[in-house]
Amino acid sequence: MKVGIIGSGGREHSICEALKKSAKINKIFCIPGNAGTSLIAENVDLDANNFQKLSKFILDNKIDVVIVGPEKPLVDGITDFLNHKEIKVFGPNMKASQLEGSKIFTKNLCDKYNIPTAKFGVFKNLDDSKKFLENCIHPIVVKADGLAAGKGVYICNEKKESISAVKEIFNGKFGNTDNVLIEEFLKGEEMSFFIISDGKNYKVFGTAQDHKRVFEGDKGKNTGGMGAYSPSRLENKELNKKILTKIIDPTLKGLKEMNTSFQGFLYAGLMITDNEPFLIEYNVRMGDPECQTILPKLKTDFGEIIDACINQKLDLIDIEWTDEKSLCIVLCSKGYPDDYKKNLEINNINEIDLENNDFIFHAGTSEKNSKIYSNGGRVLNFVVKSNEFKISRDRAINLINKVNWKDGFYRKDIGFKVIDE
């Protein structure tokens, strides 16, 4: 089976790595890919947002299935477009992708189907938002409606911060938006919960905890993710059952009643309070960097799972995992998530010796004349799985220290809640 993977980040590199081991897969294309995926797949320099050119390449190269990594093409309707050309796609259609594409769509669905979530209000202009915030109890959460690469969420401790957040959103920091969402602040601990679905059946596909804030101790601005560990320390059978019955099942029921279904990865970002789950937001793809911690623990052939999904036979597959503790640390360009330099050479990344349970996934890299350069804010992912999270973190830091690149920084405390508390 020939597979095409859409995307260029660490998530897509880890998907390539998982598919490389599959007995079902004989060729992998990565569109456009990065310096790491080029070691496994054939990188294709195409704009994944140009659906017409993309479909021509897929048909010309007889690619059997396309796996869509990032959210933007999904929200823009890539699955619908390629399906119309009789191309099989692993990833939800445009309607189902509104779960991530519009926070207000998801909030309204939560309202209708009694899915536990934070109380909220929707505001269409700056003046109405400011009037509402004048009388709000803080802390409070301000969100941009629509896609914001994981950065459009503000946790505001005082009125001055929340008004500033609303101004930034309406001034176009995350693109044009007609709405701002203002939510109550939920106390608890976050958890990333994943399922995989073929449109009729679904199975749980792991848990993780992301670390969004840029600095140690969960300080500073939100980012796309500075690291993660899997499984979440909060995971237990009783909680998992509540998540499925109170959140996942009514969501899928709601989509069905809208005459659509969900096929692909669904990622529920949750707040857990006293072992009760509340939905913060949905993503309609694997998390990044959570994916990089989850896939290395997969024992079942990933190609078999994808094939079962696109043929609506997921119920016939048993998904098995190792019981190891996996942890990822993201090495970022200095200045991220604000301004940072690109095209800075990373001298020795391919010369670092890796043990069987060590992985380096490229997130924001490019290759020119056999040299590797930084090409984004999040540059490299260092993942280790072992019997203990502390061992995994120590080994990941040891790998980072071997990299000859003075222009990066990382958090040394990934997993601090499960390791240090």
CATH code of the domain in which 298 resides: 3.30.470.20
Structural domain for 27, as ranges: 2-92
- Given 47, 74, 92, the domain boundary residue is 92
Three-class secondary structure of residue 336 per DSSP = coil
Contacts of 24 (CB under 8 A, 6+ apart): 1, 301, 303, 304, 307
- Given 316, 351, 385, the domain boundary residue is 316
330 and 297 fall within a common domain: no
310 and 194 fall within a common domain: yes
- Within a domain: residue 107? no
Distance CA 317, CA 305 (A): 7
Distance CA 72, CA 367 (A): 24
The per-residue pLDDT for 131 is 80
- Within a domain: residue 162? yes
292 and 217 fall within a common domain: yes
Of 204, 346, 334, nearest in space to 265 by CA: 204
- Within a domain: residue 101? no
- Within a domain: residue 193? yes
150 and 245 fall within a common domain: no
Residue 13 near residue 5, CB atoms below 8 Å = no
302 and 333 fall within a common domain: no
Neighbour count for residue 9 (Cβ, 10 Å)? 27
194 and 295 fall within a common domain: yes
Distance CA 385, CA 231 (A): 11
- Given 92, 109, 135, the domain boundary residue is 92
DSSP 399-421: HHTT---TTEE--TTTTHHHHT-
The per-residue pLDDT for 151 is 58
Q: Which long-range contacts (CB under 8 A, 24 or more apart) does 362-370 make?
A: 362/10, 362/13, 362/34, 362/35, 362/36, 362/37, 363/9, 363/10, 363/13, 363/34, 363/288, 363/289, 363/330, 364/9, 364/34, 364/333, 365/34, 365/35, 365/36, 366/34, 366/35, 367/34, 367/35, 367/38
Number of residues that this document lists for the chain: 421
294 and 338 fall within a common domain: no
**Tell me, what CATH number does 68's domain have?**
3.40.50.20
Distance CA 182, CA 175 (A): 18
**Tell me, what CATH number does 330's domain have?**
3.90.600.10
9 and 70 fall within a common domain: yes
Q: How many domains does the chain have?
A: 4
What are the phi and psi torsion angles at 258 (to 5°)?
-90, 10
Residue 318, token pair as written in the block: 């048993």
- Write out the chain's pLDDT in tens, 421 residues: 999 999 999 999 999 999 999 999 999 999 999 999 999 999 999 999 999 999 999 999 999 999 999 999 999 999 999 999 999 999 999 999 999 988 889 999 999 999 999 888 888 788 888 888 887 888 988 888 767 655 578 888 888 889 888 888 888 777 677 788 888 888 999 999 999 999 999 999 999 999 999 999 999 988 989 999 999 999 999 999 999 999 999 999 999 999 999 999 999 999 999 999 999 999 999 999 999 999 999 999 999 999 999 999 999 999 999 999 999 999 999 999 999 999 999 999 989 999 999 999 999 999 999 999 999 999 999 999 999 999 999 999 999 999 999 999 999 999 999 998 7
- Within a domain: residue 7? yes
176 and 246 fall within a common domain: no
The per-residue pLDDT for 150 is 55
- Within a domain: residue 298? yes
163 and 202 fall within a common domain: no
Helix (H) or strand (E) holding 66: strand 65-68
Three-class secondary structure of residue 150 per DSSP = coil
Helix (H) or strand (E) holding 226: none
Distance CA 290, CA 272 (A): 18
Distance CA 196, CA 294 (A): 13
- Within a domain: residue 232? yes
Distance CA 47, CA 96 (A): 23
Helix (H) or strand (E) holding 197: strand 189-198
Strands (E), 301-348: 325-333, 345-346
Distance CA 203, CA 205 (A): 6
Distance CA 301, CA 305 (A): 7
67 burial level (CB within 10 Å; 0-12, 13-18, 19+): buried
Helix (H) or strand (E) holding 165: helix 159-170
Category of 102 on φ-ψ map: left (φ > 0), alpha (ψ -120 to 50) or beta: beta
What are the phi and psi torsion angles at 203 (to 5°)?
-140, 150
**Tell me, what CATH number does 125's domain have?**
3.30.1490.20
371 and 306 fall within a common domain: no
* Whole-prediction pTM: 0.92
- Within a domain: residue 53? yes
The per-residue pLDDT for 148 is 60
195 and 180 fall within a common domain: no
